Structure 1
Amino acid sequence: MKSEHLPLLNSVSAPAVHPDGTCAVVSVVRPDFDADSYVGQLWTVPLGTSPDGGQPARRLTRGFRDTAPAFSPDGQSLAFLRAAAGGKPQLHIVEAGGGEPQLVTAAPLGVTEFAWSPDSRHVVYSARTPEAGRYGTTDGVSAGGEDARLITDYQYRMNGVGYTADKPVQLFLVEAPEPGAEPKVAPAGRALKAASAEPSAAGEQAAGAALLPAARQLTTAATDHNGASYSTDGRAIYFTAALHEGSDADLASGIYRIPAGKCPPGTETAAEPEAIVPANTGRLAVHAVRQSQDGQWLFFLAQDMGATGQDFVARNTALYVMPTAGGDATRLSDVETMDLGSNGRIELRGPDSALVLNTSRGTVELVEFSAAGNQEVLVDGPRTVIGAAAGGGSLVVSFADAQTAGDVAVPDGGRLRVLTDFSGRLRSEAGIIEPVELTFPSADGYPVHGWLVRPAGPGPHPVLLNIHGGPFAQFTGALFDEAQVYAAAGYAVLMCNPRGSAGYGQAHGRAIKEKMGTLDMQDVLAYLDGALGKFDELDAGAVGIMGGSYGGYLTAWTISHDHRFKAAIVERGFLDPVSFTGSSDIGWFFGGEYTGRSAEQMAAQSPMARVEQVRTPALVIHSEEDLRCPVEQGQRYFTALKQLGVESAFLVFPGENHELSRSGTPHHRKQRFDQILAWWARYLPTAANPAPAAGS
């Protein structure tokens, strides 16, 4: 795979299954160089077929970017989010059998998620709601001309979102268009003049808005209200939020319930949310809540934040259940060995069971839990499940593995019956290299698990030691564009999950709490040495190291201790715990929990505090709008290297945030790959990625 093959990377959403079980619908989105954006549509997948026989998957919609499909419970309609080029996603509804989608919302900053009512007549949706006078709500007032912000809280910004306190996520209720009903027509000419006090452009705009169903705001608190879903009887809406006293100083959040009310709006006001508090749990961060189909139980996903409410380090997400009427909650999953926070969703199956995803040893599994405590792994093996849904007796999953960035399948007798081939062109035109799964002992004998993506040919191959972010995250054996691009350029790519990573139990993840750069560095270097010793075609004298976010941290830390590397790439790194505390969106708690809060602890684990020990040429990559690891981290690190006379360069991307490598604009993602390969060509040239000509 080369950088120009990025448009062949089709990402597939979680599936929506028709209530009769005959078909599923997914969103398929890809980078597009011409639009310099992400484009995609909804596809319908018949469930009785496979790619090589019967009815194939077909494109259902033709919007610029259509995502998040969901069938109405009665199966008559399909709701989804549509974004025009340069626009915000808005809720649209189309008849399940096809037709022209109807626009349902005009949220100024777009709709983030939604859920159907059980009777299919209403939809509850979430949208960031701007404070008056901000974000274009006043004509002629640009972002730079808005009023000053007076900040009094820790939590006021978020990477990829910006300021949050002046645009919290609120819940709204809207009536769904009746399938087959005659569409409204906007008044024009004499009718517009008669209907509007402003026979002008403003009047036309108001008339256009009148074509949309009226929405009623359900929540008003100045905080985010997430994950809304209806109760089984349709009378209430459940959601998660941090509405407790002192919420600014901790990471806890809880379950709340409000009456569903009626639509269209009348004179009623928003109801006060009712807190649903289990009688026997500590300070939890609740990420999702769903009532069981029989109405007897509440399932919820949560992490225990400890006594302080901030102890988030390597806390596995567990599935809990409690009676709808209240009382004690029961934890259904083993919190030490299972981490159910992969996608933050709970899907229902049967009267009293839930489907969740489990992060496990470089894979993501699908697991079913019953309220009684029974559990069954439905999909496992060398793949990552992206999402799952059940309906009409059918169970459908979307997944990725070594040969696909995303496809749709039905579990069938312990195997997956694959129904689509959305990565077919990627395999045929770009070529995919299968990773080799490996485990090597660390210096203390601890097993370190990971993968080698090895280029074609006998070698010797230069080696890139790639370190993931997090640190409580994981590499998997699924198709990874980074490893594929580097391997196609002639590099053997090593990726492992050292202590600190997710998927191997909480003890594995918490092993580096207040000890960053110790066991984790030991593990990645042991993995490198193990691979070099096992494979003769890997060139031990031509090794580079790279990583982003926490991977940037460990790269910068490692090159201050080990000088074997020909060059390094330090990307969007956590490089100075001291300045991170006041500049990062998570700085008020992250560094303190990972490194400890004393000056001595921070210095003992800080790459900036050891920068004078660096000898390795380093390319520092950062994005100007990164609020997670702010650009000052990269600026200061690069400047220090220059002052020390270390060969270095600073690659800065305008308009991008911490997610550049995953969801940055296609142009910037391609440019990033090209610049990275140019850096490796300079210090680790290959036949496929030769050194630049002299003087260039």
Structure 2
Amino acid sequence: MTNQSKRALTAEDLQQINVYSDPQFAPDGSAYAFVSTKANDDDDYTSQLFVQSLKNKDARQWTFDKAKNSHPRFSPDGKKLIFQSNRSGTPQLWLLQTDGGEARQLTSFKHGALNPAFSKDGSSIIFSAPLEKNDDATDQHEQSSDERQKEQNEKSKQPLVINQLNYKSDASGLLDHKHMQIVLYNMGNDTFEQLTSAETDHNFEDISPDGNYILFSANLHEDRDYELTSDLHLLNVATKDITTLTNGKGQYGNARFSPDGAKIACFGHEFAFQGATLNDLYVFDAASGKSSCLSKLWDFQLGDVMIGDTRLGQSENGPVWSKDGQHLYFLGTDSGATGLYQADLNGKLNELYNDNNHVFGFSLHDGVFILGISTPSDPGNFYQMTESQLLQLTDANREFLKNVQLSEPEALTFTADDNWKIHGWLLRPYGFDENKKYPLILEVHGGPHAMYGRTFFYELQLLAAKGYVVLYTNPRGSHGYGQTFVDACREDYGGQDYSDLMSAVDYVLDTHDFIYRNRLGVTGGSYGGFMTNWIIGHTDRFKAAVTQRCISNWLSFYGVSDIGYFFTKWELGKNLLEDPAKLWEFSPLKYAENIDTPLLIVHGEKDLRCPIEQSEQLFVTLKHMKKDVEFVRFPDANHELSRSGKPEMRISRLNHITRWFDEHLRI
């Protein structure tokens, strides 16, 4: 029996979690800045900036307002800190003197200013700003809350004229005529200069050491509305001339100049396996544009694709150059964990840190690293790593973890029906007693090209706290097991991926005698919602199911999702008019008549990735047949409800899920 001196986790505990992100070394390496995000009393989140000394380990809070402060970046001399904050009502750039004093607002752009970075000499700041075609970056004025409300009211009375294919985004809603442009702020004369102007989004990547070139990624093609490519470009700051480094056939980003400015490193790929293509690591010669791929012999995903529901901030994935320009450092995703890796310019790979957990970010200074690490029983802390030791620097959730019992997962490896090896984990319930039996819930991740692993996952821990055995696996289609594995579910949704999941259930039932064989539940979101629908349409072995932000009908998904017009072909092999019969075969709605499992449907009303009509079709069909089904709609919530939605909505969602399983699996 497990130790019950600590209490069980509750849905409401979500408001107690501190989430750390974005560690950034100070230029002299004596300290680092980071962001701490937590739910506040206004049903939103507050993000504050902290700076921690590496000498006395003192972490000082530098912002205190009830706002979202993020993206801290030190000036090269360490005397200033630029950051992004919505304290004035719109995300703007603010400047702090590191020796003390109040923050000063630098920008007052109508639609905000984002993601600042200092030039290498500290004379200017480069940032991104959403601008309309005729906007003047030198004459921007932030609206008051009344002005913003008046403009929104006026827009709500006007029709929206749409003439492009890509006209909506789950993150941004219906798109208007604004595009992300790159702006340079001159610190000396207090002036702004717009550097880009094409009617497309420009993603700032880096500035050359001499300050003469801006590196950015964008699709500048005339047919960009029909393409998902993103090229790397060099912009001459003086002449505004643009040189394109890549060939227009791929998607490139995370790009950075070497310390001497002669080379550029980046992640990228050319869609060899569509959305299931592993990233490669490229190095370009900045002058000639010639490139080499360092990762030809590697077979794992570069970057962090660990899936979770707690991370509330961006962090560094790499590639980051060593000081001498001879090595690159980056995160990599492998076998349910993420680690820190090093590669030389010949492609020799070295694993610097992988302790079977989740490295979610890092910062580097003279061979010393700050690592952000999460484990299944820790939402995340920062650690200092040198060649000789790993030293914990923060204790973000000490009081919470002191009082709440979390479950440590048991790793599983089993054989699918075609002899493929499948990886997964099992969480035992709170107060586990090996002499008792417990119901089991199978969790299916989204993506499908994501990865469950050794990170903190609130929903999984909550189900264990409520008395359930929780099974979560990486069926084929998941990242972390090589290119062949991640590609294996495409054009086979509901095939071997479904078989992998059923093999997982069979395996744990045969090897763990504390599970009720007739009290099984299943749930998942997005692709996991699709798979939940598919499972209960093809077997009646589950006694209860919860489908979240699901797909039920690929025929309609093609035209209503913000990604449907390309994702459908990527994943199923055909677009709507190419083979509607095939799309219908892949649609769980076709098999609704077979569904006898009590089903709870959970969906956000502003979800544009898997629009709520997918759940509406399923609910009406099942209800019309008088099946046991319930529909919970969350207003003002998009596809990210479970991860970054309003705290009260997230808590309500969790309580509905556990309620449904309690009603049907406790009998």
Q: So what's the TM-score if we normalise by structure 2?
A: 0.90
- CA shift, 1:108, in A, is 2.6
Residue type of the alignment partner of 2:528: G
Q: In the alignment, which of 121, 124, 127 is matched to residue 126 of structure 2?
A: 124
- 1:182-201 equivalences under 5 Å are none
Residue in structure 1 matched with residue 311 of structure 2 by the alignment: none
1:168 correspondence with 2:171? no
1:348 correspondence with 2:310? no
Would the aligned equivalents of 1:316 and 1:339 in 2 still touch at CA under 8 Å? yes
Q: In the alignment, which of 576, 600, 603 is matched to residue 622 of structure 1?
A: 603
Residue type of the alignment partner of 1:27: V
Residue in structure 2 matched with residue 492 of structure 1 by the alignment: 469
Q: In the alignment, which of 593, 600, 623 is matched to residue 642 of structure 1?
A: 623
Residue type of the alignment partner of 1:79: I
Residue in structure 2 matched with residue 560 of structure 1 by the alignment: 537
Residue in structure 2 matched with residue 457 of structure 1 by the alignment: 432
Residue in structure 2 matched with residue 5 of structure 1 by the alignment: 13
1:333 correspondence with 2:295? yes
Q: In the alignment, which of 100, 103, 108 is matched to residue 102 of structure 2?
A: 100
Give the secondary structure class of the aligned counterpart of 2:522: strand
- CA shift, 1:140, in A, is 4.9
- 1:381-420 equivalences under 5 Å are 381-413=355-387, 416-420=390-394
Would the aligned equivalents of 1:407 and 1:418 in 2 still touch at CA under 8 Å? yes
Would the aligned equivalents of 1:347 and 1:388 in 2 still touch at CA under 8 Å? no
Q: Which moved more, 1:100-109 or 1:505-514?
A: 100-109
- CA shift, 1:143, in A, is 5.5
Residue in structure 1 matched with residue 68 of structure 2 by the alignment: 65
1:583 correspondence with 2:594? no
Gaps of 5+ in 1: 49-53, 179-212, 262-269, 686-690, 692-696
1:19 correspondence with 2:27? yes
Q: In the alignment, which of 35, 45, 54 is matched to residue 52 of structure 2?
A: 45
Query: Structure 1's 76 and 524: CA in aligned 2 closer, same or farther, altered over 3 A?
Result: same
Would the aligned equivalents of 2:15 and 2:39 in 1 still touch at CA under 8 Å? yes
Query: Structure 1's 143 and 428: CA in aligned 2 closer, same or farther, altered over 3 A?
Result: farther
Residue in structure 2 matched with residue 510 of structure 1 by the alignment: 487
- 1:234-633 equivalences under 5 Å are 234-261=211-238, 271-277=240-246, 283-306=249-272, 312-334=274-296, 337-342=299-304, 345-352=318-325, 353-413=327-387, 416-455=390-429, 456-458=431-433, 459-597=436-574, 598-633=579-614
- CA shift, 1:413, in A, is 3.9
Query: Structure 1's 131 and 30: CA in aligned 2 closer, same or farther, altered over 3 A?
Result: farther
Q: Distance in 1 between matches of 2:568 and 2:459?
A: 27
Q: Distance in 1 between matches of 2:605 and 2:134?
A: 27
CA deviations over 1:487-546 (Å, ceiling 9, x no partner): 111111111000011111111111111111111111111111111211111222111000
CA deviations over 1:60-93 (Å, ceiling 9, x no partner): 22132221111112211111111228x3322111
Would the aligned equivalents of 1:90 and 1:104 in 2 still touch at CA under 8 Å? yes
Q: In the alignment, which of 165, 179, 195 is matched to residue 218 of structure 1?
A: 195
Residue in structure 2 matched with residue 78 of structure 1 by the alignment: 81
- CA shift, 1:8, in A, is 2.2
Residue in structure 2 matched with residue 203 of structure 1 by the alignment: none
Q: Distance in 2 between matches of 1:583 and 1:258?
A: 36
Residue type of the alignment partner of 2:631: F
Residue type of the alignment partner of 2:602: I
Would the aligned equivalents of 1:596 and 1:602 in 2 still touch at CA under 8 Å? no
Query: Structure 1's 141 and 445: CA in aligned 2 closer, same or farther, altered over 3 A?
Result: closer
Q: Which moved more, 1:532-541 or 1:105-114?
A: 105-114
CA deviations over 1:535-578 (Å, ceiling 9, x no partner): 11122211100000000000100111110111101110122111
Identity of aligned residues (%): 32
Q: Distance in 2 between matches of 1:660 and 1:140?
A: 27
CA deviations over 1:650-675 (Å, ceiling 9, x no partner): 11111110000000000101111111
Would the aligned equivalents of 1:549 and 1:574 in 2 still touch at CA under 8 Å? yes
Query: Structure 1's 381 and 227: CA in aligned 2 closer, same or farther, altered over 3 A?
Result: farther
Would the aligned equivalents of 2:182 and 2:204 in 1 still touch at CA under 8 Å? no
Give the secondary structure class of the aligned counterpart of 2:22: coil
Q: Distance in 1 between matches of 2:275 and 2:298?
A: 13
CA deviations over 1:198-247 (Å, ceiling 9, x no partner): xxxxxxxxxxxxxxx44222111111111331012111110100112322
Residue type of the alignment partner of 2:378: T
Q: Distance in 2 between matches of 1:250 and 1:470?
A: 21
Residue type of the alignment partner of 2:444: I
Q: So what's the TM-score if we normalise by structure 1?
A: 0.87
Residue in structure 2 matched with residue 115 of structure 1 by the alignment: 117
Residue type of the alignment partner of 1:443: D
Residue in structure 1 matched with residue 645 of structure 2 by the alignment: 664
Q: Distance in 2 between matches of 1:131 and 1:540?
A: 62
Residue type of the alignment partner of 2:99: G
- CA shift, 1:139, in A, is 5.0
Give the secondary structure class of the aligned counterpart of 2:403: helix
Would the aligned equivalents of 2:381 and 2:394 in 1 still touch at CA under 8 Å? yes
Residue type of the alignment partner of 1:65: K
Give the secondary structure class of the aligned counterpart of 1:626: coil
Query: Structure 1's 143 and 673: CA in aligned 2 closer, same or farther, altered over 3 A?
Result: farther
Give the secondary structure class of the aligned counterpart of 2:570: helix
Would the aligned equivalents of 1:514 and 1:601 in 2 still touch at CA under 8 Å? no
Q: Distance in 1 between matches of 2:531 and 2:569?
A: 17
Query: Structure 1's 79 and 639: CA in aligned 2 closer, same or farther, altered over 3 A?
Result: same
- CA shift, 1:132, in A, is 7.5
Would the aligned equivalents of 1:318 and 1:335 in 2 still touch at CA under 8 Å? no
Residue in structure 2 matched with residue 30 of structure 1 by the alignment: 38
Query: Structure 1's 519 and 80: CA in aligned 2 closer, same or farther, altered over 3 A?
Result: same
Give the secondary structure class of the aligned counterpart of 2:264: strand
- CA shift, 1:336, in A, is 5.9
Residue type of the alignment partner of 2:617: R
- CA shift, 1:393, in A, is 4.4
Query: Structure 1's 393 and 504: CA in aligned 2 closer, same or farther, altered over 3 A?
Result: closer
Query: Structure 1's 131 and 649: CA in aligned 2 closer, same or farther, altered over 3 A?
Result: farther
Q: How many residues align?
A: 630
- CA shift, 1:345, in A, is 4.3
Would the aligned equivalents of 2:130 and 2:179 in 1 still touch at CA under 8 Å? yes
Q: Which moved more, 1:664-673 or 1:342-351?
A: 342-351
